[in-house]
């Protein structure tokens, strides 16, 4: 760190502080729960001619925003079971082409610690990891076994010169327990504190913890979430990103007074894509967090903003389920505009009332 500080001081002297600030930053993007309900599977199979599963049109409108980020993360809430019998709720299993489409949309990492990761038991949980490796997507949260978890944690990624550590935990797995030794990162304060400390020791400058928590369909965080967020802030975490409720919940920038830094807490990003039907589940939010390097060479979270999007259902012809950014309302199918307006107004109401220093980018 001494030599890094000296280097940045020298560059600042030569080029000026403003250019350093603009050059030495990275933007992380986070999206919520990527689901695959039966109607989504049926439509993808139909568009694929009955043999393949075609998701090529699902993310075309949102892809430029995702791709623009320096690193994009999504919660993969389905095992990649390998077929041939793919299924939706309550026990999910999706084809590899779904994850391939998410990668093509610009995502770099899949979170796999969620309550559906064992829907097809240990075999599919392990196969998911192999499939993501083959596709070329980073992943955290589930492991072939305890030994692999010990070998892969901490996971630290170099993103535009920033060493950023990522961790992922879930509250549970719908009561399904590993029977063959698959390892799931469960929410456990002692284990979390240990892995956060290991991530720091391994050189992470910024630590991101993705939490699968909260109560489904509830638009505000509860006391358990707040308690865990406080715990993570006290452990020195920089970004806390939540999912699971399938609806949005507030985003807040809080202060870690002990370390003198701001911390981003996102309680729930809601659904990314799904076939859920109630108004609050018909869309979700993405959040962009900017990491900067100070003049002394220290990395820190700087600021964040969000946008919303709508998960449109097929509207005839060869259309598929499709993510439509809120700033592109002209693409929303005519018969679904009322659903979009109800979702977006409801989300905006929650964010306006409860967000703290996390504004909307497009208004």
pLDDT tens sequence across 60-69: 999 999 999 9
Q: Rounded to an integer, what distance in angstroms lies between the CA atom of residue 110 and that of residue 180?
A: 23
Mean pLDDT of 171-185: 97
Integer Cα distance of 274 and 280 in angstroms: 12
Q: Would you place residue 23 in the very low, low, confident or very high pLDDT band (cuts 50, 70, 90)?
A: low
Distance CA 234, CA 256 (A): 7
96 closest CA partner among 121, 129, 118, 60: 129
What is the mean predicted confidence (pLDDT) over 70-89?
96
Cα–Cα distance measured from residue 355 to residue 221, given in angstroms and rounded to the nearest whole number: 12
The predicted structure's pLDDT at residue 16? 39
Could you tell me what percent of the chain has a pLDDT over 70? 93
Q: Cβ contacts of residue 147 below 8 Å, gap of 6+? A: none
| Digit-coded pLDDT (tens) for 122-170 | 999 999 999 999 999 999 999 999 999 999 999 999 999 999 999 999 9
H or E segment to which residue 273 belongs: strand 271-273
Task: Identify the CA nearest to 167 among candidates 247, 70, 236, 256.
Answer: 236
Cα angle: 144, vertex 147, 150; to 5 degrees: 110
Range 273-304 burial, b when 16+ CB lie within 10 A, else e:
bbbbeebbbbbbbbbbbbbbbeeebebbbbeb
Chain segment 263-310, per-residue pLDDT in tens: 999 999 999 999 999 999 999 999 999 999 999 899 999 999 999 999
The reported pTM is: 0.93
pLDDT of residue 15: 35
* CB contact at 8 A, 264 and 211: no
């Amino acid at each position: 760190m001494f030599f890094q500080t000296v280097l940045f001081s020298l560059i600042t002297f030569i080029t000026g502080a403003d250019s350093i600030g603009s050059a030495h930053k990275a933007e992380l993007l986070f999206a919520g729960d990527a689901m695959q309900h039966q109607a989504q599977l049926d439509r993808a199979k139909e568009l694929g001619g009955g043999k393949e599963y075609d998701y090529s049109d699902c993310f075309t409108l949102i892809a430029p925003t995702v791709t623009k980020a320096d690193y994009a993360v999504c919660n993969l809430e389905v095992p990649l079971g390998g077929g041939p019998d793919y299924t939706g709720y309550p026990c999910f299993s999706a084809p590899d082409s779904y994850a391939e489409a998410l990668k093509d949309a610009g995502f770099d990492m899949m979170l796999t610690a969620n309550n559906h990761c064992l829907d097809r038991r240990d075999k599919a949980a392990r196969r998911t990891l192999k499939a993501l490796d083959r596709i070329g997507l980073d992943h955290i949260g589930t492991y072939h076994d305890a030994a692999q978890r010990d070998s892969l944690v901490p996971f630290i990624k170099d993103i535009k010169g920033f060493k950023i550590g990522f961790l992922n935990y879930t509250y549970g797995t719908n009561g399904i327990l590993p029977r063959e030794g698959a390892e799931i990162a469960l929410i456990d304060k002692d284990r979390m504190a240990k892995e956060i400390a290991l991530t720091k020791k391994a050189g992470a400058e910024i630590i991101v913890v993705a939490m699968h928590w909260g109560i489904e369909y509830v638009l505000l965080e509860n006391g358990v979430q707040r308690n865990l967020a406080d715990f993570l802030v006290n452990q020195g975490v920089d970004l806390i990103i939540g999912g699971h409720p399938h609806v949005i919940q507030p985003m807040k920038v809080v202060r870690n007074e002990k370390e003198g830094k701001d911390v981003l807490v996102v309680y729930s990003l809601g659904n990314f894509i799904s076939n859920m039907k109630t108004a609050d589940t018909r869309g979700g939010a993405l959040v962009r967090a900017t990491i900067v390097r100070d003049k002394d060479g220290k990395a820190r979270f700087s600021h964040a903003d969000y946008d919303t999007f709508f998960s449109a259902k097929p509207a005839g012809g060869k259309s598929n389920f499709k993510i439509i950014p809120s700033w592109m309302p002209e693409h929303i199918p005519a018969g679904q505009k009322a659903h979009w307006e109800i979702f977006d107004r409801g989300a905006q109401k929650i964010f306006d009332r409860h967000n703290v220093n996390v504004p909307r980018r497009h208004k």
